[in-house]
Amino acid sequence: MRIVFVFYKISDMKNHKKADPQRIASNSKAIKNAGVVVNENIVSVIEKNYMPYAMSVIMSRAIPEIDGFKPSQRKLLYTMYMMGLLHHSRTKSANIVGQTMKLNPHGDSAIYETMARMSRGFEALSHPFVDSKGNFGKFYSRDMACAASRYTEAKLEPICEEIFGDIEKNTVDFAPNYDNTLKEPVLLPVNFPSILVNISSGIAVGMASSICPFNLKEVCSATVKLIEYPDSDISKIIAAPDFVGGGEIIFEKSVFESIYSTGRGTFRVRARYFYDESSNCIDIINIPPTTTSEAIIEKLALLVKQNKINEISDIRDETGLEGLKITIDLKRGTDHKKLMSKLFRLTPLEDSFSCNFNILINGSPVVLGVKRIILEWIDFRTKAVRRRLDFDLCKKKDKLHLLLGLSKIILDIDRAIEIIRNTEEESLVLPNLMVAFSLDILQAEFVAEIKLRNINKEYIVKKTAEISELEYDVKKIEKILESNSGIRKIIIKELESISKRFGKPRVCSVVQKGDLTYFEPCEENFPDYPVIYFFTSEGYFKKITPQSLRMSSEQKLKNGDEIIQATEGTNNSEIIFFTNSSQAYKAKGSLFPSIKASSMGEFIHAKLEGNDDEKFIYMAVTRDYSGFMTFFYSNGKVAKVQMSAYQTKTNRKKLIRAYNQESELKACFYIRRDENFVVFSSSGRALFFNTSLLSTKSKRDSQGVLVMRQMHRHKVTEVKLCTSADSRTNEKYFEKILPSSGKKILRPEIVGNQLKF
């Protein structure tokens, strides 16, 4: 496939004129290659233009790295660190956002949203990095919006000491910012595996990342175990993920083995609740991290409205300063355990969390299991600690070198003073000291820069006393650097300190799947009583009891509407509504409330959520799915379909291909036994027959069999169900063999349900 580019002059594009290549070529101001048609391979164009964008999203936006941060988060936290917000008081969030734009050239709203999601007030992270003051919204609420940045304040949390503690000791690489005016860290030298401690998710181009959080104490313990014994099984240490919002994690051994080993898998999380017996209500205090309180309340309200849940009398959102709380008031006699089992099945109170541990390792996206991630972090941290020790070693060696030079003049300080005083030129001071005491240029500079007030025995003795201490430190660091074992002892010590200082008990409880009690869904115990179902041409539906109908038989209808069906049934009958688009919608009679005849009824299209372009045309009421559905088509064919074909094992509400659409449907009838019908044609003929002559079909969309032969360009116009009186009166017209052309009728007259000629 190839793509064609045509270059036009900008003024021509603005004026919507077609560029003339000759005129443009003669114009000295024409753009380069204007009017030239260039053939390009679309593959090469995508590689040249789209691939850089895709790689930028993957590498610099959506996927976290081994330090646990995305670039936007890292730039924000580093800016706050350079502003001195680790140990000082809070400052306005707008100030932080403005300073961050020196490193992150995106809009202020994107930067502020990043800060809000890492804040303590948002409550999304197990260990937040931003100490916030003001309204930063809540992760479990869709409607609680964050206040503007000019109203809120923030600074870094104390745990950030474990993120930036070694950053000034060359532990990580630095790179220029977007305009090459500042330096920013490529990674942060985190002292613990933050990648597994806080939740992280992102969508890139062609890939995504979704990392669930684990408990800090468990992660630190597992890391220490892997440092000591790399082949250890960490699943015995890290029980399961630990979401900050709490809840119950349904544990399945095979699922978590897959997550720990491959980094992929899906597990279930359910809400935690308490039942208050005194007030007969359920208080939901923890919800899954994939939903919000508003979504849960809306779903509960919808289920109540659809009569799928009848045990609830009221739902309230009582979220306050103490945290999330959704209160559900129950009707008297409700079994709260069975109700919650139903709610877990029908609402987001139990939801799945999909894991995809996709992180950047050395600039490449890799999906790793929990154990591999910890091992990668150990390698990363080992390099950072080694670089820190190298930095400290160089500093101590430099200081030791200077103090050794100072020790050479301690025995003859007067001679050094005399040399400096008797030297006529300033430029000769250092060379004279170097010759007299065998010093190098650095040592001589250090001696020469000593202040006059410090030329005393006490100062010099204190300085030279550090020599033995520095020599000991240098040997100690050099010994540690000889192997990784010493470095890893330092990492273990740091992890144990972090675990003790910042570790928290688990918030999420772990429940074995086999220990859960599931109540099988069963039919609702609705009372069963006689009713009459009415269906109108405009698609309105009524369920009226015989007693109510006797009291007020006058039906209220929409202007121009009429009742086309009135069928007796019971409250627990099954109702199938057919549409003109070959679809059927199933509903239980108990779904609809009993109303009076003076009520207009329910618009069935809205109630059953039909498609915009379809119309409801027929209603079939059944209890045991016995009998047949008969479909009459304009081409003279009739399909006799078993009613059981519309019975489903699952609780499906919508059936596609409910009947055949090859020819126009003229009428359909639900019959419990074989009946007599009369079919009228546009040719002026009528055909009387009994459905026992038709073969029964098991497929819903069967095209049927030919019943009435049609003359050229004639079609079936009308179909009537014959009553007993009609059948006796017109017995001589009934056909015994099908198909047939029927008999010519001169002037049919229909009075009630009886046909006369």
Positions annotated as catalytic residues are 151
Whether the CB-CB separation of 402 and 442 falls below 8 Å is answered with yes
Alpha carbon separation from 371 to 211, 235, 258 (Å, rounded): 14, 9, 11
Closest by Cα among 357, 376, 374 to 366: 357
CA distance 118 to 139: 11
DSSP conformational letter for 323: B
* Angle between helix 484-502 and helix 216-228 axes, rounded to 10 deg: 160
List the Cα angle 482/483/489 in 5-degree steps: 120
CA distance 203 to 63: 8
CA distance 96 to 10: 41
CA distance 103 to 97: 10
CA distance 69 to 80: 15
CA distance 130 to 120: 6
Closest by Cα among 660, 688, 690 to 673: 690
Looking up tokens 């990392």 gives: 211
Looking up tokens 């993120």 gives: 163
Cβ contacts of 63 within 8 Å, gap of 6 or more:
70, 202, 204, 207, 209, 358, 359, 360, 365
Which residue type sits at 75?
Answer: K
Give the count of alpha carbons within 13 A of 272, CB side only: 17
β-bridge partners, 640: 630, 696
* Lookup: tokens for 329: 């008031």
Closest by Cα among 89, 96, 127 to 113: 96
Alpha carbon separation from 123 to 75, 77, 118, 131, 210 (Å, rounded): 21, 18, 8, 11, 18
Cβ contacts of 315 within 8 Å, gap of 6 or more:
297, 300, 301, 304, 326, 327, 328, 329
Straight-line distance from the first to the last Cα atom of the chain, in angstroms, rounded to the nearest whole number: 70
> 3-state DSSP helix/strand/coil percent for the chain, to nearest 5?
35, 25, 40
Whether cis (ω within 30° of 0) applies to the bond prior to 739 is yes
